[in-house]
Amino acid sequence: MEKVSLASKVKNVFMTAKEYWSVPAKGNYIPYKEVASLSGAGFGVYWTTLLASAIGLSASNFLVGASIGLRPMDLQVMLIVANLVGIPIGIFRSWYYDNHHLQGGKFLPFIRRTGLPIVLISTVFVWLPYENMQYITKAVVVWFMYMLMNVFLCFYNESYTYFQQIITPNAQERANVMSISQVIYSLAPTITNLFIPLIAGLTWGLNNIWTYRVIYPVFTVVGLIIGTVFFRRVKERLILPKKRPEPVRMLDAIREVAKNKYYWIIQAAAWVVFLESGYGVVLNWSFVYGYGGEYQSSLGLANTVIGNAALWSMLLCPLAIKKMGKRNLLITANAINIVILLILYFVYKNLIMICVLWYINTFINTFWNIVQHQISADMRDYHQWKTGVRIDGLFGPLGMIGTVIGFFTGLVYPAIYEKMGLLEDYNVLYDDTMRNNLFEVLILCSALGALLNLIPFCFYDLTENKHKAYVGVLKIRAMFENFALGELEDGELVDAMSVIVEAKEHYGKEKVSVSGDKAQKKKAGETNLAIERAAIIMQDLTKFSGQAGMARLRQAKADIAKGRLCPYEDAAQELANARKLPKKTAEEKEIRSDAIKNARIKKRAAALIRKYGADRIKAPDEAVMAELKDREAHTFTESLRIKRELNAWLKAASVYADAVKPYTDAESLIKQAGYYAHYEELEKRYYELCSADSVQ
């Protein structure tokens, strides 16, 4: 019977894969064929960036530290300067993600365009003749090449991270797909972790630059070829109306992002993660420098066995998320990691115990690595629900706060290294006493960092069920807007109306008692979750019929009556009056918040009109913008002139947009209310489609 049962299960797996190979299962978005392509693409990503990722400005970096021979504190200063120069580049990159017009998607165009430069620059980097350079020359060359490479590497890595977050709007499907794809493309690090240290141990060693000159480029070129092939077979999925998105103004986006509490929770955890990372050198340095370096060639085998731990957590992660939720899983993983680090403090002199603890640590940390991408994606969907604007890249500029904090926190470990005696000669790590003393300090600092990293997520309350409700609201909004545009497809209508039908069925009901047998408890739990979602969905569906919604519409109509370019001389008084509004009930708080936001927009508009004069604030001529984009520059001076004219146009456009924002916001709100008035018409069409399907 067992053999038959196993055979049936295997057959069922193949039948399911065949059935959904080209068409996704009901309720899902991604067919198995695309999951396979995503897995291959991930394999290519890892190998494409393998050499580039091996180049870092830190003392723990074998290539720049041990091979090229730069001091820890010098490397940290170089990193700070690189980050300072990178701030304006990062701000541009963040803005460009949300405002470019490249063909092929929001992030895929960057992945397809930046892989080749990364491979070329990283290969040139390692082949430069550092052996014949003075120390200061080496430092300058390393810094310049690092900066040049990271211009492309940041675009590539960020685009790939963001892309994974928008492959599907279904959070559980996203977890399943990422888990499956990571299991497959984790073969890439498994292969490199096994063979590179093994080959290096038999040839030049991991602390010799010839390893990076000869071995690494082979993998990166192969990775580029694999990635190029598979990235042509995947696509992005964002829930957006089919109208062309308006350009996202950076300052507006930053102001809205600053109000996103989940963004700050994620950022706060990121600010202290540097401290938790200190123990990361213990495994590699124990193999390379411990026992006189005689076990260096075994590092590849150890990494391969340890890497196997990630496979099990990748497989279990979707189930763990479903059972525990992302927040609880993160907190649990971090708590276990603290215990592991404390045990490591007492056994780090035993190479076998290091490997055992590293195996467990890898198993736990893989959950963290998967879930952090999931919560980042959920946070962006929440932001789109909250503000009505989809942004991804423009979360970046506020993240520069973390970069500035990193200028100071990044000095901690280099200072410890140098205080403990590690300068430009990394051979001192062969000294057991020196190395062990350093390890003890690093492990204790890491345990403290893991504790600090855990605390912010105690305040994270964006549950999977809330996220599902927010995505449902986004579907409903897109349905209304696409209907107004005359571009609503039947599939979109059915998808959005199904959300509404379920919400209406459960709206206003009391949660049921979770008791009885397992099946009854499950049903009761699902009912309670549906009731919770219904409150969020119906609140949005009826937002123009409540007191707050009607107040917004009255204000919008009043703002429209004042004209497109109103001086708003009483904006300051309006803001003061808004702050005095009552805030006892939830509806009163909403009305007050809307009034304050509206008054602030008017106050800014009034300030701009006073500064520039109403007669100088004009709607930008789109033809001028098109001409500037198409104009060819034959000389460097000409290119600068085009850039100046383009900047002037963008500034004028920004001033005009902010000056008329009270009017355009009011116009947009009234239009949206008009969209929602077509609900009964859409409902009728939905039931007609359902009837036609049932007849068939």
Q: Does residue 91 register a pLDDT over 80?
A: no
- Planar angle of CA 183, 186, 190, nearest 5 degrees: 135
What are 420-448's pLDDT values in tens digits? 888 878 788 889 999 999 999 999 999 99
Reported confidence tier of residue 221, pLDDT bands at 50, 70, 90: very high
- Strand ranges in 169-304 using DSSP code E only, listed in sequence order: none
Say what the alpha-carbon torsion angle 5, 11, 17, 23 is, to the nearest 10 degrees: -100
pLDDT, residue 107, reads: 87
Our CA angle for 277, 279, 284, nearest 5°, is 110
Q: Is the pLDDT of residue 96 over 80?
A: no
Residue-level pLDDT at 143: 94
Amino acid at 223: G
Tell me, letter by letter, the H, E, C secondary structure of 29-64: CCCHHHHHHHHHHHHHHHHHCHHHHCCCCCCCCHHH
**Residue 285 · residue 435 · CB < 8 Å:** yes
**Residue 203 phi, psi (nearest 5):** -120, -100
pLDDT level of residue 663 (50, 70, 90 thresholds) = very high
The SS3 assignment for 228 reads helix
Q: What is the pLDDT of residue 291?
A: 82
- Is pLDDT at 11 greater than 90 in this prediction? no
- 641: its two tokens: 């002139």
pLDDT of residue 2: 44
The percent of residues in the chain predicted with pLDDT above 70, rounded, is 92
* Overall average pLDDT of the 280-292 stretch: 87
Best CA proximity match to 676, nearest among 539, 542, 492, 485: 542
DSSP per position, 515-580: -SSHHHHHHHHHHHHHHHHHHHHHHHHTTTTSHHHHHHHHHHHHHHHT-SS---TTHHHHHHHHHT
Bigger pLDDT: 113 vs 650: 113
Amino acid letter for position 521:
K
Each residue's pLDDT tens digit, 24-54: 887 788 888 888 898 899 899 999 999 998 8
> What gap in Å lies between CA 676 and CA 552, rounded to an integer?
15
Q: Give residue 166's pLDDT band: very low, low, confident or very high (50, 70, 90).
A: confident
Percentages (nearest 5) of helix, strand, coil residues in the chain? 80, 0, 20
Q: What is the mean pLDDT of residues 288-295?
A: 83
* pLDDT score of 637 more than 70: yes
Structure tokens belonging to residue 257: 């992002």
Instruction: Write out pLDDT tens, residues 598-627.
Output: 999 999 999 999 998 888 888 888 888 778
The pLDDT of residue 149 is above 90: yes
Contacts (Cβ under 8 Å, ≥6 apart) of 664: 657
- Hey, what are 185's tokens? 């493309």
Instruction: Please indicate whether residue 56 or residue 397 has the higher confidence score (pLDDT).
Output: 56
How large is the average pLDDT for residues 104-133? 91
Kindly state the average pLDDT of the residues 652-662: 87
Q: Tokens at residue 589, please?
A: 């708080």
Average pLDDT value for residue range 287-291: 86
Return the pLDDT at 13: 63
Of 247, 253, 88, give the one whose Cα is nearest residue 656. 247
Contact 98, 253 (CB under 8 A): yes
* Burial (CB count <10 Å: 0-12, 13-18, 19+), residue 491: exposed
Task: Provide the pLDDT confidence category of residue 407 given band limits of 50, 70 and 90.
Answer: low
Residue 248 has pLDDT above 80, yes or no: no
- pLDDT of 4: 44
Q: What is the 3-state secondary structure (H, E, C) of 129-192?
A: CHHHCCHHHHHHHHHHHHHHHHHHHHHHHHHHHHHHHCCCCCHHHHHHHHHHHHHHHCHHHHHH
Q: Is the pLDDT of residue 1 over 60?
A: no
Cα(151)–Cα(350) distance, integer angstroms? 41
Instruction: Indicate the average pLDDT of the chain.
Output: 85
How big is the chain, counted in residues?
696
pLDDT tens digits along 296-352: 878 878 888 888 888 888 888 888 988 898 999 999 999 999 999 999 999 999 999
Looking at residue 443, its pLDDT comes to 93
pLDDT of residue 592: 92
Tokens found for residue 165: 């977050």
Q: Which amino acid is at 287?
A: F
